[in-house]
Amino acid sequence: MALKIVKGSIDRMFDKNLQDLVRGIRNHKEDEAKYISTCIDEIKQELKQDNIAVKANAVCKLTYLQMLGYDVSWAAFNIVEVMSSSKFTYKRIGYLAASQCFHESTDVIMLTTNQIRKDLSSPNQYDTGVALTGLSCFVTPDLARDLANDIMTLMSHTKPYIRKKAVLIMYKVFLKYPESLRPAFPRLKEKLEDPDPGVQSAAVNVICELARRNPKNYLSLAPLFFKLMTSSTNNWVLIKIIKLFGALTPLEPRLGKKLIEPLTNLIHSTSAMSLLYECVNTVIAVLISLSSGMPNHSASIQLCVQKLRILIEDSDQNLKYLGLLAMSKILKTHPKSVQSHKDLILQCLDDKDESIRLRALDLLYGMVSKKNLMEIVKKLMLHVDKAEGTTYRDELLTKIIDICSQSNYQYITNFEWYISILVELTRLEGTRHGHLIASQMLDVAIRVKAIRAFAVAQMATLLDNAHLLTGNTQRNGICEVLYAAAWICGEFSEHLENPMQTLEAMLRPKVATLPGHIQAVYVQNAAKLFATVLKGQEGDADGTAAQEATQLMIDRLPLFVQSANLEVQERASCILQLVKYIQKLQQKDVDVAEEVSALFAGELNPVAPKAQKKVPVPEGLDLDAWINEPPSESESEDEQPKAIFAKEETKHSRPRHTEVDEKELARRREARKQEQANNPFYIKASPSSQKVYQDAPGVEHIPVVQIDLNVPLKVPGLPMSDQYVKLEEERRQKARADKKKKEKKKRKEKRSGRGKKHDSGPESEEDIAPAHMVDIVTEEMPENALPSDDDERDPSDPHKALDIDLDKPLADSEKLPVRSHRAAEAQKSPTDGETENATLQEPKKKSSKEKREKKKDKDRDRKKSKEEKKKKKHKDEDKEEDLLGGQADEAVLQSEETSQVAAPPTSASTPAEEAAAAAEAAPEPSVTAPDSEPDEPKDTEMEETKSSKHKKKKQKKEKEDKKKKKKHHHHHHHGDGGGEESVQNGTVEEEEPLPPMSNYCLLAENSYIKMMKEDAEEVYDIQGNLQDGSQVVVSVIFENKCSSFLKSMEFNVLDSLNSKLQRPEGSGPHDGLVVPFQLPPGVSNEARFVFTVQSIVMPQKLKGTLTFIVKNEDGSTHEKLDFKLHFTCTSYLITTPCYSDAFAKLLESGDLKSSSIRLEGVNMPFHHLLARICFHHHFSVVERIDSCASMYSRSIQGHHVCLLVKTSGETVSIDAKCDEPTLLGNVLDEIKQTFSQC
């Protein structure tokens, strides 16, 4: 063993470090993968060694390999090991690796809770910092819950460095554990006014992130932010605040009004472009929120637009980009002010920078009108031709379609032009947007009835030239267009000039190369076409044409019947059989056309995409209600349905009063029309009634200009959209002339009071009447569709959970879970007796309990009473026994609680501040995990932090006086650390919840003060440590139980030969250690003391004294409290996981001495037993098979301890092996003791 260590440390020098690895990879350019795989093998070897330095080096290399794309999750456990090193150097490596590759489903994360907690409370600020940084990357809901309170405490750390990190990480905690938001919020708010600018900025940052998602909850902070905005000079903070205001103003227009002035001032005064830009952005947001009814802000709009123009004209591309970006925001509400800069924007379309062109495209969307649409699209089509990259070209394509189709094709006056644009777009090769074009074609053809004939003609041409589209087959995308083409040709085949030819085109063998879903449409629509052909030919004297068509179908369909695509196959074979049957009938000269076309009769109406969602739940239908009442419910509920029906009736039936005024009648008429229009079963007189309404007065009364015959009905080859531009021009001129004539008539009508408001477009647009009757069939919605257009947020959005009212006072149940003592504080010293009254203690206990339990109200009551009982019982010295017994009892009661107990059994947290935040101000005792970094200088650092923290508190507290006595009390401690490890190798299943276990014990107590000791926690004994002994850290919680102020506490221990308290340099061996804080009444705090231990094979006892000054109004008195510290042997064991193969090797090695014990009458489930050993004695389960388990632990000095635990009935036998028999004997004795107590 020792040899191995020595060898290891020499080897280490020649180990490959990160630099060597990188160098190696660079030298193996040809066989990099092979080289890296050998490196990974080396790393695996290194990870097997005990030397932490070697491990850290290996983990460091893994982090690099992870960046290169290698999965390193297999080393997750080693990363945890390195994280738990006490050396900052290694710890940092470990946390970095963890932050790079841990994520929520990394299972070892649950092992880190205690380590992180320990690091968070480390006296070394960089340990804390590193832990916070790491945690921010891999925090999970469990970690967030368990550590929320610790982090919250750190928000008030004395070091700004820690404060700012703690404040920032709270955001991550909130996301993962939304319950923590309310308790933590007051402190977060406090940090907005932190003296340190970094902390302040962090707090602003966090609140801005929160407010961005749920702005309404943060409105109450507006005055505070307003103050910050006017006082802060930090641009980062200003930008964040201004962005935040941008999010808040839509909710509170009054805020907007107040903001305008300071923001405009900033715009004028600042030299920082970023700030200027954000100000402009927020002013825009304000103006948007004010846009209704605030006319006198045009000056601000002008200012913004003007500033943005300056940005856009700047030579710096970044500013140009941002200017356009902001411009697009103005566009939504003040399109006119943007439209005046059309020149500039069109100019940007020609910019060489793609990002800028894209932004300009966005703006175009708002710039089109009926007048200029064709012109703009023409320009865009030119760009499409020029564009090299497919991404930009695709973007152009979607933009063209967006621009044209916006608000129900509002700006399109000539749909023939649009169809030809779409057809032109199909010539783009390799676009991803084939389906987009296809859906536009379908949409237009279905909804604009007048265009169908034209569309069908175009589609027939497309189908005829399908080979052009599918030429290079795997260019996919665009062939989607054929889907639309085939469907349109089939569905509206009555408009086809030459259906036979199209039918032939659709049944070409080449079709079989198209994707399955398109083939299916082809087959189906071929059948429709076939019906049309039949119908067309029926009248003819000789039925040869019809028979030809039938023959064609019969010839070509078998190709599709063989298709691998089920849909195609099924349709084809159905239709083939049908056609064969028709052929039979034809041969008998039976007229079949009618019947065949009846197969495809009827028209499909477009359905709105949200229609399904908008179907209202019928009144009286409660989807959550029981269909059959559960038997226990009372009968009275049966009556309910009746009531519902009655209600429904009143609502649905038309009002019955006979006198209805004119208005009401008109309203109803309108409503009925609307309803009819929406009803697919209602046969419409004019199917387009709705659009006509929208489309302004003109349309209803002016005869619609019909399609001019100068538009060729059949376009040979593919059409050119350009010709339509010219045609449209001519048409418009003609229309204008027409219009002038009708002007008079129209005016008359207008005067007669029928004039309606026009749509919002510029007035000149009225002049352009659409070329077609733009009878856009509106999409169908279900009857009684819900009116709201609520686009619900994605339910998986983590921010949804953070929509929490922050102004409500905190309820008890909301406090953060705090690691608190179990029954320990329930006990009272027997020698004490007199002064303490039970009532004083009761609430304390309750509060701490409540925190832990949170939701489990039910249990709480039960537990409380239990606790009370217990308290009465425990009036004597042998608390521990009762304590454990009590816990065992409780276990049964609290089975639901186990998730919490099992996960963070050794969790710790810092104390009293919590009380301040909590509404219930009862002080609660709690403990912080011991620290693993016991160096003296750091300790003093901690002292400083603590004491100043408490000074603040002191001022708040009143002082009272009281006289007391002291007493002391000694205690055993229980093990800690293990609970979770029991699950660690995955062998302990969740059979039954584990009982709660505690690792605190009362050290001593008198009427002034109570000392709680958390179990001695060992420092990893690292090779190369300068001391040859081991260090043990003991956490002691001091709780002020009296109403006076306690100060000048000094902790002293009589050193034994074996164990020594570590004292600061320069102090004598008998000097006490100053406890680094003072205690106001009712407050508890925790300090850590480091002991150096030589031999660990025997348990140790140390006598000690705590002296302190009780200060009250009458003056101060010196008091003291004696105690005994007990180090058990198990407290020298560290929970060390061990894999079964290593375990087997260890057992085989033969240098272990064995021993065994037998426990009788152990009446608990096996996994409880294991958990107990894990928890109290720091073992981990290596392997478990039925009622037999192997366990492993290691002492701080490297002794291996192996256990084989078997159970049969109530007998448990433990065979143990260890390389140090004395240690083993003691450990076994302690295990025995643990179980004799249950």
Residues 907-936 contacting other proteins, CB under 8 A: none
Binding range to other proteins, per CB under 8 A, among 274-282, 399-407, 625-633, 1179-1187: 274-282
Q: Find the shortest distance in angstroms from Cβ 132 to other proteins.
A: 7
241/1202 with CB nearer other proteins: 241
355/439 with CB nearer other proteins: 355
170/1214 with CB nearer other proteins: 170
- Based on the shown chain and the rule CB under 8 A, indicate whether residue 172 belongs to the binding site for other proteins: yes
- Based on the shown chain and the rule CB under 8 A, indicate whether residue 96 belongs to the binding site for other proteins: yes
- Based on the shown chain and the rule CB under 8 A, indicate whether residue 66 belongs to the binding site for other proteins: yes
Q: Find the shortest distance in angstroms from Cβ 1078 to other proteins.
A: 29
Distances (CA, A) of 1207 to 643, 885, 1184, 1200: 64, 21, 12, 23
Q: What is the DSSP string of 982-1038?
A: GGTTS-S--SSPPPP---EEEEEE-SSEEEEEEEEEEPP--TT-SSSSEEEEEEEEE
The DSSP H or E segment spanning 1210 is none
Q: Find the shortest distance in angstroms from Cβ 46 to other proteins.
A: 15
Using the rule CB under 8 A, which residue among 5, 8, 11, 17 binds other proteins?
17
Smallest Cα–Cα separation from 1178: which of 1121, 1138, 1236? Answer: 1138
Q: Find the shortest distance in angstroms from Cβ 400 to other proteins.
A: 18
Smallest Cα–Cα separation from 336: which of 694, 770, 768, 763? Answer: 763
86/597 with CB nearer other proteins: 86
Beta bridge partners of 102: none
Cα separation, 1198 vs 60, in Å, equals 25
- Based on the shown chain and the rule CB under 8 A, indicate whether residue 322 belongs to the binding site for other proteins: yes
Cα separation, 725 vs 377, in Å, equals 10
Using the rule CB under 8 A, which residue among 43, 192, 331, 356 binds other proteins?
356
370 to 399: interface string for other proteins, x by CB under 8 A: -------------------x----------
Binding range to other proteins, per CB under 8 A, among 92-100, 292-300, 852-860, 1175-1183: 92-100
- Based on the shown chain and the rule CB under 8 A, indicate whether residue 320 belongs to the binding site for other proteins: yes
Cα separation, 333 vs 281, in Å, equals 13
Residue numbers 483-522 binding other proteins by CB under 8 A: none
Using the rule CB under 8 A, which residue among 1, 4, 7, 19 binds other proteins?
19
Assign 328 to helix, strand or coil: helix
Using the rule CB under 8 A, which residue among 5, 137, 718, 1109 binds other proteins?
137
Q: Find the shortest distance in angstroms from Cβ 910 to other proteins.
A: 21
Binding range to other proteins, per CB under 8 A, among 292-300, 314-322, 578-586, 1216-1224: 314-322
Q: Find the shortest distance in angstroms from Cβ 536 to other proteins.
A: 49
Residue numbers 222-241 binding other proteins by CB under 8 A: 235-236, 239-240
- Based on the shown chain and the rule CB under 8 A, indicate whether residue 823 belongs to the binding site for other proteins: no
Cα separation, 1043 vs 1080, in Å, equals 8
117/240 with CB nearer other proteins: 240
Binding range to other proteins, per CB under 8 A, among 93-101, 285-293, 516-524, 606-614: 93-101
- Based on the shown chain and the rule CB under 8 A, indicate whether residue 119 belongs to the binding site for other proteins: no
Using the rule CB under 8 A, which residue among 22, 598, 713, 921 binds other proteins?
22
Binding-site size, other proteins (CB under 8 A): 78
Burial 907-917 (b: 16+ CB within 10 A, else e): bbbbbbbbbeb
Cα separation, 490 vs 496, in Å, equals 9
Residue numbers 191-220 binding other proteins by CB under 8 A: 198, 201-202, 205-206, 208-209, 212
Neighbouring residues of 1073: CB distance < 8 A, sequence distance ≥ 6: 1050, 1051, 1052, 1061, 1063, 1064, 1089
Cα separation, 410 vs 1186, in Å, equals 74
Using the rule CB under 8 A, which residue among 64, 411, 1045, 1179 binds other proteins?
64
Instruction: Locate all alpha helices (DSSP H) within 448-562, ordered by sequence.
Output: 452-464, 466-470, 480-491, 499-506, 516-538, 544-561
212/216 with CB nearer other proteins: 212
Q: Find the shortest distance in angstroms from Cβ 350 to other proteins.
A: 14
Neighbouring residues of 360: CB distance < 8 A, sequence distance ≥ 6: 324, 345, 346, 348, 349, 351
235/612 with CB nearer other proteins: 235
Binding range to other proteins, per CB under 8 A, among 16-24, 370-378, 1129-1137, 1211-1219: 16-24
1030: tokens are 């081991």
Residue numbers 998-1037 binding other proteins by CB under 8 A: 1024
Binding range to other proteins, per CB under 8 A, among 312-320, 340-348, 660-668, 1194-1202: 312-320
Q: Find the shortest distance in angstroms from Cβ 102 to other proteins.
A: 8
Cα separation, 699 vs 1170, in Å, equals 85
Q: Find the shortest distance in angstroms from Cβ 234 to other proteins.
A: 9
Q: Find the shortest distance in angstroms from Cβ 366 to other proteins.
A: 17
> Between helices 125-138 and 141-154, what is the axis angle to 10°?
150
Cα separation, 604 vs 609, in Å, equals 15
Beta bridge partners of 1100: 1127
Identify the sign of the CA torsion 11, 12, 13, 17.
positive
- Based on the shown chain and the rule CB under 8 A, indicate whether residue 103 belongs to the binding site for other proteins: yes
- Based on the shown chain and the rule CB under 8 A, indicate whether residue 161 belongs to the binding site for other proteins: yes
Cα separation, 987 vs 1187, in Å, equals 11
Neighbouring residues of 53: CB distance < 8 A, sequence distance ≥ 6: 9, 12, 90, 1023, 1024
Assign 87 to helix, strand or coil: coil
60/1073 with CB nearer other proteins: 60
Q: Find the shortest distance in angstroms from Cβ 354 to other proteins.
A: 7
Would you say 939 and 1064 are in contact if contact means Cβ atoms under 8 Å apart?
A: yes
- Based on the shown chain and the rule CB under 8 A, indicate whether residue 68 belongs to the binding site for other proteins: yes
Using the rule CB under 8 A, which residue among 321, 487, 1038, 1235 binds other proteins?
321
Residue numbers 882-901 binding other proteins by CB under 8 A: none
Phi, psi angle pair for 128, to nearest 5°: -60, -45
Assign 1155 to helix, strand or coil: strand
The DSSP H or E segment spanning 479 is none
198/543 with CB nearer other proteins: 198
Assign 903 to helix, strand or coil: coil
173: tokens are 């905690």
Cα separation, 511 vs 556, in Å, equals 11
Q: Find the shortest distance in angstroms from Cβ 768 to other proteins.
A: 33
Neighbouring residues of 1037: CB distance < 8 A, sequence distance ≥ 6: 911, 925, 926, 927, 1000, 1010, 1011, 1012, 1013, 1014, 1084, 1085, 1086
- Based on the shown chain and the rule CB under 8 A, indicate whether residue 126 belongs to the binding site for other proteins: yes
345/488 with CB nearer other proteins: 345
Binding range to other proteins, per CB under 8 A, among 65-73, 144-152, 573-581, 713-721: 65-73
